[in-house]
Amino acid sequence: MSQAATDVRPVTPSQAAHPAVRLVQLRKHYGRVVAADGVDLEIAEGEFFTLLGPSGSGKTTLLRLIAGFERPDSGVVELGGTDVTTQPPYARNVNTVFQDYALFPHMTVVENIEYGLKIRRVAKPERRRRADRALDMVRLSGLGDRKPLQLSGGQRQRVALARAIVNEPEVLLLDEPLGALDLKLRQEMQVELKRIQREVGITFVYVTHDQEEALTMSDRLAVLNAGQVEQLGTPIDVYEKPATEFVAGFIGVSNLIDRDGQRLTVRPEKVYLLLDNAEPAPPGTHVEYGVVAEVVYLGVITRYRIELDGGGQLVAVRQNLETAGADVLEARGRRARVAWRPDQAFRVGTESQGRPHDS
């Protein structure tokens, strides 16, 4: 990779003349299935942007529309301010990393990485220099002569990433690239991917159904459902202030209760659980009464499910700082109070999305 490419740093939308990716009223149907339903979206240059949603939400379809593997039924796809809606994939300055790596098994690691440059007739010395730099960036220096089958799953994924970034695309598309890895390796690769993205400064558009993955790596994310964007924002905004019932339920665990004709959502870690009658509720909190119906010991935390006298149920979690494991199970069946700050409970629905609840 050239020195210029490695020196690039992410920029904010205000610094760029055009967004790296712009989708305007994008629609795509497969028979009666609506995969993209009038999607409008802008992704800034240098941004790590995630399309998050369950299977069938349309996230992979949007990625394929950006890549040019699919043509939209209507709408516009722009890359760097240029309309590429009708351009074939090879004419777009993007690369895609897939879950199955798609490496050539008969080629060495270096040959796999150089392949795109060779097709573009880049001179051999320059190909090798850029391939070596890409290998160093993904921390695989010294493994260039190995074949893919001699590498671990995580190493093969790094090779696929190096092969993509060595071409210096304007946008790198990643379709659930960590899905085949075990949990520990996937978590390590999440950190590595974010590091690499910051170093190269390329816009990453990442597809996943894993909420933790999206929250860990993204600068911003779009939560998709049935071909539409349910919510767009930073990980903190989307998690802390879910705009709809779907977002509240899909990202993490969220409590949903009905009070005074409104549906409210509050995260379990925001709920104070008061098992001792003498323990005062924090000032300014909303308090309700109930019975502990279920206790689940999870090591670091214990999860409690409380059936509320006013109807519905809440899940609360406590860190196991001092409590012994056997002691927490004794809470089952006990009367309890739960409390939460009104500004951490949000109304969800079509009229007042993501607004704090005023007790």
CATH number for the domain that contains residue 330: 2.40.50.140
Same domain, yes or no, for 156 and 66?
yes
pLDDT at 26 (0 to 100): 96
Same domain, yes or no, for 259 and 236?
no
Q: Is there a domain that residue 246 lies in?
A: no
Q: Is there a domain that residue 245 lies in?
A: no
What are the residue ranges of helices labelled H in the chain? Answer: 3-7, 59-67, 109-119, 124-137, 153-165, 183-200, 211-217, 235-240, 245-250, 325-328
Q: Is there a domain that residue 230 lies in?
A: yes
Which of residues 240, 266, 284 is at a domain's end? 240
Checking if the pLDDT of 1 tops 70, the result is no
Same domain, yes or no, for 236 and 298?
no
Q: Is there a domain that residue 249 lies in?
A: no
Checking if the pLDDT of 320 tops 90, the result is no
Q: What is the mean pLDDT of residues 94-110?
A: 88
How confident is residue 323, by pLDDT bands cut at 50, 70 and 90?
A: low
Q: Is there a domain that residue 247 lies in?
A: no
321 or 89: which leads in pLDDT: 89
Q: Is there a domain that residue 139 lies in?
A: yes
Which of residues 240, 266, 293 is at a domain's end? 240
Q: What is the pLDDT of residues 73-88, one digit of tens each?
A: 999 999 999 999 999 9
pLDDT at 2 (0 to 100): 39
Same domain, yes or no, for 153 and 284?
no
Same domain, yes or no, for 131 and 279?
no
Q: CB under 8 Å to 119, separation ≥6 — which residues? A: none
How confident is residue 200, by pLDDT bands cut at 50, 70 and 90?
A: confident
Checking if the pLDDT of 176 tops 60, the result is yes
Same domain, yes or no, for 186 and 315?
no
Q: Is there a domain that residue 64 lies in?
A: yes
pLDDT at 6 (0 to 100): 37
pLDDT at 9 (0 to 100): 38
Same domain, yes or no, for 207 and 262?
no
CA–CA distance, 38 with 25 (Å, rounded to integer): 4
Mean pLDDT (the chain) is 87
Q: How many domains does the chain have?
A: 2
Q: CB under 8 Å to 290, separation ≥6 — which residues? A: 306, 307, 308, 309, 313, 314, 335, 336, 337, 338
CA–CA distance, 33 with 100 (Å, rounded to integer): 26
186 or 339: which leads in pLDDT: 339
pLDDT at 218 (0 to 100): 95
Same domain, yes or no, for 165 and 50?
yes
DSSP letter for 167, please.
Answer: T
DSSP letter for 92, please.
Answer: S
Same domain, yes or no, for 183 and 230?
yes
How confident is residue 16, by pLDDT bands cut at 50, 70 and 90?
A: low
Q: CB under 8 Å to 86, separation ≥6 — which residues? A: 71
Same domain, yes or no, for 193 and 337?
no
Which of residues 240, 275, 290 is at a domain's end? 240
Same domain, yes or no, for 189 and 48?
yes
Q: Is there a domain that residue 213 lies in?
A: yes
Same domain, yes or no, for 223 and 265?
no
Q: What is the mean pLDDT of residues 240-255?
A: 89
Domain containing 324 equals: 255-356
